[in-house]
Amino acid sequence: MRFARFFAFALFAAPAASSGAAEGPILTPPPPLSPKINGPRVYGARPGRPFLYRIPCTGERPIRFSADGLPPSIALDPETGILRGTAPERRGEHPVTLKARNRHGATQRIFKIVVGDTLALTPPMGWNHWYTHYNRITDQLMREAADVMIASGMADFGYQYVNIDDCWMVKPGDPNPELGGPPREPDGAIRPNRRFPDMAALAEYIHSKGLKFGIYTSPGPLTCAGFTGAYGHEEQDAKTFARWGVDFLKYDWCSYGKVAPGKDLAAYQAPYRLMGGILARLDRDIVLNLCQYGMAEVWKWGREVGGHSWRTTGDLGLEKGDRLPGFYRIGLRNARLWEHAGPGGWNDPDYILIGWVGNAHRIDDPPQYTTLTPDEQYSYMSMWSLMAAPLFYSGLMSKLDAFTLNVLCNAEVIEVNQDSLGRQARPLRESEEELVLAKPLEDGSWAVGLFNLSEQERTMAIEFAELKLKGRQRVRDLWRQRDLGVFPRVYQAPVPRHGVLLVRLWPAG
């Protein structure tokens, strides 16, 4: 019965071996049977707007949830742990004690609802359809992704957004009747294509599970895949999204270059400033993700125009690897922008592509099991966590195997990503052979990633003086969730080729 949720799921997932691909070694022990509350400890919401949050909690179900100090406008379902209602009108912090109990034990922790103008106080987490379903996305596939987010246990670790990417609208001129047709209603309202018969019902389905619904459009006349964009209909489309129940918008530059008012900074900012302003006036909280591949140093102004995250690079799925796989190159570029991330505004190096993923160069090909080695996958997830990157998985939900879930769902690794201080790790050392990223956490501890970029195993060290830490440190291996001991001055260990050692340091005694 132990870890039933994990294993039951892995059983109905297709065995990775059927493709010749091998699952790697699982480093992380399964979560305990007693309840453990995961996910963020702070949560931003705007006054009086709809509120929805499913408490991420591992442990054997049934779990009974309760809460102390819950604002009266929000109700908790004790069986599902879903908080639903309206954010309080009073601005400021509303600390709530979340409690969870099952037959193995009980736990509680403080969850601070911060009512104000800032959303995404910690990096958003979820799933996005792009790298798997491309232009094949349907209402049914979105519902299945939401089902799996719950059934696989991902939601118990904090994954909550279920996001459609491009290709849900009409594609003007497409002969396929499922995709073509009039792009808008006579009054100008955007029309989904026939694969999305009722967007509001889809949103409602996702919300019924306590999850959130994200959507995608472009400020240009057409999206990158040639579907209908928001140009000239920005306010109308944003209101439609709000009416449908959208919680997240990815706003992708695409064809906007053709209609942009110029090439200066103001022109780069214009479409995002427009949409950011519109969303800020809506009676619904919608997190805004700017997707324009890092043009005009978006990290310097993404927040000011209303963005909550901004892609810093081109598409990860299109990035050519060299000696190292593409995610290292994207990750390195993103890592150098550490000073620009913080609560409410995050550098976005694109999605987590592991497990079964499609080929962005040949989108008609069926998904294949990742060619990244297990060590590379641990490095990928470690980097994204240390960089406080939005954590969006974009592989095939229906074929999640136990190894992929293990990489995606380590509570202590995710805690580094979701830390309330909201700092992005700083590169401490960077060379051909190694990268060391260090991130200060709210409790005064540090998370440190020692990445071996070289072609053979290598002993890597973190000297505590590099972090200006005095005295002995207690060191814990976050992937193995194991204390390594107390060390006076330095911690060092062998790290495999392209692998990582992800540790957390606390002052000892």
Q: List residues with catalytic annotation.
A: 252, 315
Q: Is 223 in the site for ligand GAL (CB under 6 A)?
A: yes
Pairing of strands 346-348, 309-311: parallel
Residues of span 225-244 touching ligand GAL by CB under 6 A? 225
Q: Reduced to 3 DSSP states, what percent helix, strand and coil does the chain have, rounded to the nearest 5?
A: 25, 30, 45
User: Which structure tokens are listed for 499?
Assistant: 């692998």
Phi first, then psi: give them for residue 257, nearest 5 degrees: -50, -30
Residues of span 416-445 touching ligand GAL by CB under 6 A? none
Query: What is the smallest separation between the CB atom of 185 and ligand GAL, expressed in angstroms?
Result: 23
Contact at 8 Å (CB) between 165 and 222? no
Phi first, then psi: give them for residue 412, nearest 5 degrees: -75, -30
Site string for ligand GAL, 247-276 (x = CB under 6 A): -----x-x----------------------
- Closer to ligand GAL by CB, 257 or 494: give it: 257
Query: What is the smallest separation between the CB atom of 347 and ligand GAL, expressed in angstroms?
Result: 15
d(CA 490, CA 185): 65
Residues of span 1-20 touching ligand GAL by CB under 6 A? none
Site string for ligand GAL, 157-196 (x = CB under 6 A): --------xx------------------------------
Query: What is the smallest separation between the CB atom of 254 and ligand GAL, expressed in angstroms?
Result: 6
d(CA 207, CA 54): 10
Among 169, 224, 287, 409, binds ligand GAL (CB under 6 A): 224
- Closer to ligand GAL by CB, 252 or 285: give it: 252
Would you give the DSSP letter of residue 495? E
Four-point Cα dihedral 320, 321, 325, 328, nearest 10: -80
Sheet holding 92-102, edge to edge: 42-45, 105-115, 92-102, 64-68
- Closer to ligand GAL by CB, 58 or 292: give it: 292
Which of 312, 324, 450, 453 lies closest to 390 in space, CA to CA?
Answer: 312
Window of 222-230, 425-433, 437-445, 480-488 that interacts with ligand GAL by CB under 6 A: 222-230
Number of residues that bind ligand GAL (CB under 6 A): 10
Locate the DSSP E strands across 190-233. Answer: 212-217
d(CA 342, CA 169): 33
Q: Is 291 in the site for ligand GAL (CB under 6 A)?
A: yes
Query: What is the smallest separation between the CB atom of 124 and ligand GAL, expressed in angstroms?
Result: 15
Query: What is the smallest separation between the CB atom of 260 and ligand GAL, expressed in angstroms?
Result: 15
Contact at 8 Å (CB) between 359 and 10? no
Window of 86-94, 218-226, 397-405, 420-428 that interacts with ligand GAL by CB under 6 A: 218-226
Window of 14-22, 223-231, 240-248, 269-277 that interacts with ligand GAL by CB under 6 A: 223-231
What does the angle CA 222 – CA 360 – CA 129 come to, to the nearest 5 degrees?
70
- Closer to ligand GAL by CB, 38 or 135: give it: 135
Pairing of strands 446-452, 500-507: antiparallel
Phi first, then psi: give them for residue 371, nearest 5 degrees: -95, 0
Q: Is 348 in the site for ligand GAL (CB under 6 A)?
A: no
First-to-last C-alpha distance (Å) of the chain:
38
Site string for ligand GAL, 100-139 (x = CB under 6 A): ------------------------------x---------
- Closer to ligand GAL by CB, 170 or 224: give it: 224
Residue 66, amino acid: S
- Closer to ligand GAL by CB, 165 or 419: give it: 165
- Closer to ligand GAL by CB, 224 or 425: give it: 224
d(CA 69, CA 56): 18
Tell me which residues touch ligand GAL (CB under 6 A): 130, 165-166, 223-225, 252, 254, 291, 315
